[in-house]
Amino acid sequence: MPGSLKQKTVKGVIWSCVERFSVQGIQFLIMIIMARLLSPEEYGLIGMVAIFLAISQSLIDSGFSQALIRKLDRTDVDNSTVFYFNIVVSAILYLILFLAAPFVAEFYNQPELKSVMRVICLGVIFNSLAVVQRALFTAKIDFKSQAKASLSAAIFSGVVGIVMAYGGYGVWALVAQQLLNLFINTLLLWIFSSWRPLAAFSWQSFHELFSFGSKMLASGLLDTLYRNIYPIVIGKLFSASSLGHYTRAHQFSEFPSQNINGIIQRVTYPILCEIQHDDKRLENIYRRFLKLSAFIVFPMMVGLSSVSHPFINVVLGTQWEFCGQLLQIICFSMMWYPIHSINLNLLQVKGRSDLFLRLEIIKKILGVSMLCATAPFGLVVMCYGQIFNSLIALIINTYYTGKLINVGFFRQMRDLFPIIFLSLTMFAVVLLLNHLITDDIIRLIVGVLVGAIIYSGGSYIFKFKELNELISLIRRK
């Protein structure tokens, strides 16, 4: 990579790491403390309304974030148009959610859900006010400002949530934490940003941005609906407690996978957009991003799976033991998440949101079919079905990558095979040790240490280039 592009990438990765892991680290600790104070049922109530918040956020954004980032000649009129659109949409959505709350509570047979939903959905409005600021910071690869806002919001809201949970407020501690987090984050982004909306709305700008963003909106809605259909089915067919165990397991699996993916995706998208017309250069940088993300994520996910049972028992307590069983399975589906995202990123870079949408439709049809086939056999089988579905989705996602820059499924698997093999070797050894040790704390400590030694030692012995790139990136801090 040329000097300026490399410097941008390194700086962006560093500050994106700071934001992701400082914020998520704080939230992780807060979640552990609150999970010890609250019950799986109370977490399950929040899980039941999560889909409505996720869908609302997709509708508010409407793909405009990606469209603004991708548009190198964006103007203040473009930004203002998106800002006012978001406000109107968020107000309409909140009204719909407010009126729908009694029906949602009745659907799940949870009367308390009515008031919980009406309050927590205020976050929809808070989120809409910061879409443009986040997009502009990301376009400039300025994650430092976002890091300061996110970390401050996480700390303050977390302290309030813990105090309320300790005081016996139950599910309302979770509601207050989430709302305060969104409100403070939005407020600080406005303070740190120099951009302010003009008194202008351009239909020409709207149509131009929406022509790209509408495909991203449809794709985002499909993905959001699919990712949240599992909580709906679990909450309806099983119980709030089962949903609480599932959402905690999913959250733990998301911590390494989605955070690493978020860092890489936020940095790679604006970087790759700058070289979107140079296919050869795009191919080389794309493959490096792909291997580096797998080198970091695969061992983290496989390692977490290998120590899932002692990890959950030590961190959350034995009342969450079923969560450990689900976590061990889910990690193997979530480990592919960054690879999916990087492949789809390329379609956005190339402006092919039509292909993006086509792939999402195909994958979601297959995913819902898998859900219908596995749901009658219980929650554990449903989680195994997610692994199979993730692998099928990977084959689908890599189809157009092969067409556009000649980096299809088999070429990617050749690149990633050494990392996969070393990760699975580590998994087998750690799992064997877990069966030989009975104390959970010792199992966890030994498992983490042995896994780290096997993976780092293997990477060094077999001369993985990604190890040198990671060390170089850390040294550049």
Residue 229 CB contacts under 8 Å (≥ 6 apart), including other chains = 51, 368, 371
Residues 213, 273, single domain; the answer is: no
Whether 243 is covered by a domain: the verdict is no
Token output for 89 = 């949409």
Whether 245 is covered by a domain: the verdict is no
Residues 180, 74, single domain; the answer is: yes
Whether 391 is covered by a domain: the verdict is yes
Whether 248 is covered by a domain: the verdict is no
Residues 312, 430, single domain; the answer is: yes
pLDDT tens by residue, the chain, 477 residues: 454 555 655 665 666 666 666 777 787 788 888 888 888 888 888 888 887 888 887 777 666 777 777 777 788 888 888 889 888 888 988 999 999 999 999 988 889 899 999 999 999 899 889 888 988 887 777 777 888 898 899 999 999 999 999 998 989 999 999 999 999 999 999 999 888 988 888 888 888 777 766 666 666 677 777 777 888 889 888 888 898 899 889 888 887 777 777 766 666 666 777 776 777 888 888 888 889 889 989 999 999 999 999 999 998 888 888 999 999 999 999 999 888 888 887 787 777 767 877 888 888 899 999 999 999 999 999 999 999 999 999 999 898 888 888 888 999 999 999 999 999 999 999 999 988 998 999 999 999 999 999 999 999 999 898 888 777 766 654
Q: Are 434 and 443 in contact (CB under 8 A)?
A: yes
Residues 156, 225, single domain; the answer is: yes
Q: Are 216 and 66 in contact (CB under 8 A)?
A: yes
Among residues 397, 380, 258, 276, which one has the least CA distance to residue 328? 380
pTM value is: 0.71
Going along 27-73, which residue ranges are E strands?
none
Question: Structural domain of residue 260, as residue ranges?
Answer: 254-477
Q: Are 90 and 56 in contact (CB under 8 A)?
A: yes
How many CA atoms are closer than 13 Å to the CA of 16, on its beta-carbon side? 26
Residues 338, 201, single domain; the answer is: no
Residues 293, 362, single domain; the answer is: yes
Residues 32, 158, single domain; the answer is: yes
Whether 249 is covered by a domain: the verdict is no
How far is the C-alpha of 301 from the C-alpha of 286, rounded, in Å? 22
Whether 24 is covered by a domain: the verdict is yes
Residues 212, 278, single domain; the answer is: no
Whether 246 is covered by a domain: the verdict is no
Single-letter residue type at 7: Q
Q: Are 147 and 22 in contact (CB under 8 A)?
A: yes
DSSP 248-260: HHHHHHHHHHHHH
How far is the C-alpha of 260 from the C-alpha of 403, rounded, in Å? 26
Token output for 295 = 């080198």
| Domain final residue pick, 177, 202, 237 | 237
Helix (H) or strand (E) holding 45: helix 40-61
Residues 325, 290, single domain; the answer is: yes
Residues 202, 262, single domain; the answer is: no
Whether 28 is covered by a domain: the verdict is yes
| Domain final residue pick, 237, 272, 307 | 237
Token output for 304 = 């977490």
| Domain final residue pick, 237, 267, 291 | 237
What is residue 167's three-state secondary structure?
Answer: coil
Residues 171, 291, single domain; the answer is: no
Backbone φ, ψ for residue 177 (5° rounding): -60, -45
Residues 194, 73, single domain; the answer is: yes
Count of domains for the chain:
2
What is residue 137's three-state secondary structure?
Answer: helix
How far is the C-alpha of 146 from the C-alpha of 58, rounded, in Å? 20
